[in-house]
Amino acid sequence: MTKAISPRSRKVRILATLGPASNSVEMIAMLYEAGADAFRVNMSHGDQESKVAVIAAIRSLEKKYGRPTTILADLQGPKLRVGKFTGGKTVLETGATFILDRDKTPGDATRVELPHREIFEAIEPGARLLLDDGKLVLRVTEHDMDSITTLVVVGGALSNSKGLNVPDVVLPMAALTPKDRSDLAFAVDQGVDWIALSFVQRPEDLAEARKLIGGRAALLAKIEKPAAIERLEEIVEACDGVMVARGDLGVELPPESVPPLQKRIVEVSRRLGRPVVVATQMLESMIVSPSPTRAEVSDVATAVYDGADAIMLSAESAAGAWPIESVAMMNSIGEAVERDPTYGARIHFTVVSSDPTTADALAEAAKNIAATVDAAAIICFTSSGSTARRVARERPSVPLMVLTPRIETARRIGLLWGTHAVHTRDVNSFEDMVAKAKRMALRHNIAKAGDRVILIAGVPFKTPGSTNVLHVVRIVGDELKGYS
Positions marked active-site = 40, 81, 222, 280
- Asked if residues 267 and 273 have their Cβ atoms less than 8 Å apart, the reply is no
How far apart are the C-alpha atoms of 366 and 436, rounded to whole Å? Answer: 18
Q: What separation in angstroms does the CA of 144 have from each of 103, 231, 238, 481? A: 14, 29, 35, 79
The CA-based angle 483-447-334, given to 5 degrees, is 130
Torsion of CA 419, 425, 426, 430, to 10 degrees: -90
The neighbouring-strand residues paired with 244 are 223, 278
Orientation of helix 48-65 relative to helix 25-34, angle to 10°: 50
Q: Give the residue among 230, 277, 306 at the shortest CA–CA distance from 74.
A: 277
Report the C-alpha gap between 235 and 228 in whole angstroms. 7
Q: What whole-number distance in Å separates Cα of residue 362 and Cα of residue 355? A: 11
